[in-house]
Structure 1
Amino acid sequence: MGGEHAGRFEGRIALVTGAGSGIGAAVARRLAAQGANVVVTDVDGPAAEAVAKGLSRAHALALDVAEPAQVDSVFDEVLRRHGRLDVLVHAAGVDDPVAKEWIAEALVAGRSPEVTGRLGDDAWRRVMRVNLDGTFHVLRAALRVMVPRRSGAVVTVGSSSVFDTQAGYPHYAASKAGAHAVSQSVAKEAIAFGVRVNTVAPGPTETGMAARTPAALRQGFAGPGARAYATPEEIADVALFLVSEEAANLVGAVVLANGGRFTV
C-alpha cells in the first residue's frame, strides 16, 4: 500500500483468523503496518507466532475456528488484554486436496470429473465445519464483543466459487455459499448496532491452497482474458478497504476479486 494509508488503523485492535499464512498473514501484516495492534490467530499456533514476531504490535493465539469453545476463549482473551475489538478479518478456511486431485485427473484424461459419488462424509463435514460453522462461530463471538460498544468492522473471506461453482467441488462451493449468506444476514442485523460486516470473494490466489492445486487445475483457472493469480496482498488490500472508514456505507457487500474471470 502507498504511504497515504499509513496510520489508517492507528490505535485499533484487530483480530485476524487464518493469519499463519496466505491471505490472513497478508492482512495481519497490512493492518500492523497501518498502525493496528493485531491479534494473529491460526490453527497452526507456531505459524501464527512466526507471523506475529515479524510485526511491531502483535501477539499470536492458536485458534481452530471449527471449535466454538476455542473461538469464545480467544475473543474473551482479546477483551481481557485490550478491552475491546475494533476490526475482525476472518480468513480461516480449508480446501480438499483429494477432490482437487480427482478433478485434475479427469481434466488430464479429457473426461468429466466424478467426485460426488466418492465424496465421504468426513470430507464433507471437515470442509463445512471449518468454512461454514467456523464463520458462524467467529461472527457470533465478534458481535458479542462489538455490539455492546456499538462499533466494529468485520470482513469474512468467501470465494468466487460461490458464483462459478466447480464441477466436482460441491462441499467447498456449498460451504462458501453458506458463509456468504451467514455474513449477509448477520450484516443486516449488526448494522443496527453500529457494526459493519462485509465479504471479499477472491478468485484464484497464490496461497498454500493454490500451492496444493494440481497443475492441470491451476492451468484451467488461469484461462485467457483474466489477470494472473492474485497475490495475497492484493486480496488483503480489498479486505482492509472494507474494514476502513472509507467503506462506511458498505454493509453486507460481497466484493468479487477474481481478476475478471467472470462477473455477477
Structure 2
Amino acid sequence: MGTRAAAARFMGKVAMVTGAGSGMGAAVARHLAAEGARAVVLADVNGDGASAVAKQVLAGEAVTLDVAEAAAVDTVVEDVVRRHGRLDIVVHAAGVDDPQAKQRLADALVDGRRPAVTDSLDDASWRRVMRVNLDGTFHVLRAAVRAMQPFGAGAIVVIGSSSVFDTPVGIPHYAASKAGVHALSQSVAKEVIASGIRVNVVAPGPTETGMAARTPQALRAGFSGPGVRPYATPEEIADIALFLASDAAANLVGAVLLANGGRFTAA
C-alpha cells in the first residue's frame, strides 16, 4: 500500500481503543491518528496512562474505563456517539493476566518441579481474569454493536490470544477466558454482519508489553529461541489489528488471525 493510501486509510473515522494506556492499545491509537482518524478515544483503567498516550495522539481523548463495569462501558460509548456523531472503529485491547500464577510456574521451572497451579487457584483470581477478559469483551462488543447498528457499518477488532490454541500449562483461567473471547467474538460476528458490522480477532503470541515485562525470566526464556521470531512489538500487532479494521479486510468476518511468530500453527 502506498504512503498516501496508508495515510488516508482511516480518514474521518471515529475510533475507540480500550487498553490504550500502554502496549498494543497505545500503538493502535497512535496508528489510527497517524492514518487520518478525526477522533481517537483512548480508554484504560489507568487514566493517567491513557492521558499520557493521548498527548502523543492527534485528536486523542483519554477516558478512565474499567471494561468489567458494564454501565461504565455503556456510558463511555454513548458519550463518544453524542460528541462525535458516530463510532466507526473499536479495537478492544484491554485485558489482564495472573502474575502470581506466572510466578508459581517460573519457580517450578527453576526448581525442576512439576508445575502445580490449578489446585491453588483461588476463586478471586479466577473471577478477576474472567471479569476483565471475558465479561469485559462482552460489555465492549454489546456497546459497540448498539452504537454502530443505526449507521449500518462499523469494524470491531478484539485482541485474543494464542493461548487459546496451545493452552499453556498453569494458566487455565487465562486460556479459558481468551477461548471465551474468541468464541464470543465469532458468534457475534456472524450475527452482526447483516447490520454491516465486522468483528474479527487478533490472537497474539508473546509480545513486548507491560504484561510481558512482568513475566518471570524463566518463562520468557521458554518462549524464545532460534526457531521462532523474537517477541512481537506492540506496533507489529497493531498493524494486524488495523488491517482488520480497514476496508482491505472487508471480506474477513469472524476471522482469528494467529500472530505468534512461528511458535506453532493452527488450522
With the shorter chain as reference, the TM-score category is over 0.9
- What one-letter code is carried by the residue in structure 2 that aligns with 1:27? V
| Aligned pairs (5 A) from 1:38-57 | 38-57=40-59
Distance, in Å, in 2 between the alignment partners of 1:182 and 1:112 is: 33
1:97-156 deviation digits (Å, cap 9, x = unpaired): 000000001111122210000001000000000000000000000000001111000000
Distance, in Å, in 2 between the alignment partners of 1:79 and 1:139 is: 15
| Aligned pairs (5 A) from 1:1-264 | 3=3, 4-36=5-37, 37-264=39-266
- Count of equivalent residues: 264
1:69-123 deviation digits (Å, cap 9, x = unpaired): 1000000110111110000000000010000000001111122210000001000
Per-residue deviation, 1:221: 1.1
Per-residue deviation, 1:2: 7.0
- RMSD over aligned CA atoms reads 1.0
- What one-letter code is carried by the residue in structure 1 that aligns with 2:238? A
- After TM superposition, the runs of 4+ consecutive aligned structure 1 residues lying more than 3 A away are none
Distance, in Å, in 2 between the alignment partners of 1:105 and 1:239 is: 34
Distance, in Å, in 2 between the alignment partners of 1:190 and 1:221 is: 36
Distance, in Å, in 1 between the alignment partners of 2:147 and 2:82 is: 11
Distance, in Å, in 1 between the alignment partners of 2:150 and 2:187 is: 19
Distance, in Å, in 2 between the alignment partners of 1:197 and 1:112 is: 39
Per-residue deviation, 1:223: 3.3
Distance, in Å, in 2 between the alignment partners of 1:112 and 1:149 is: 54
Per-residue deviation, 1:224: 3.3
- What one-letter code is carried by the residue in structure 2 that aligns with 1:11? G
- What one-letter code is carried by the residue in structure 1 that aligns with 2:63? L
2:11 alignment partner, SS class: coil
- What one-letter code is carried by the residue in structure 2 that aligns with 1:53? K
Give percent identity, aligned residues only. 71
Consecutive unaligned residues of structure 2, counting only runs of 5 or more, are none
- What one-letter code is carried by the residue in structure 2 that aligns with 1:57? A
- What one-letter code is carried by the residue in structure 2 that aligns with 1:157? I
Distance, in Å, in 2 between the alignment partners of 1:132 and 1:170 is: 14
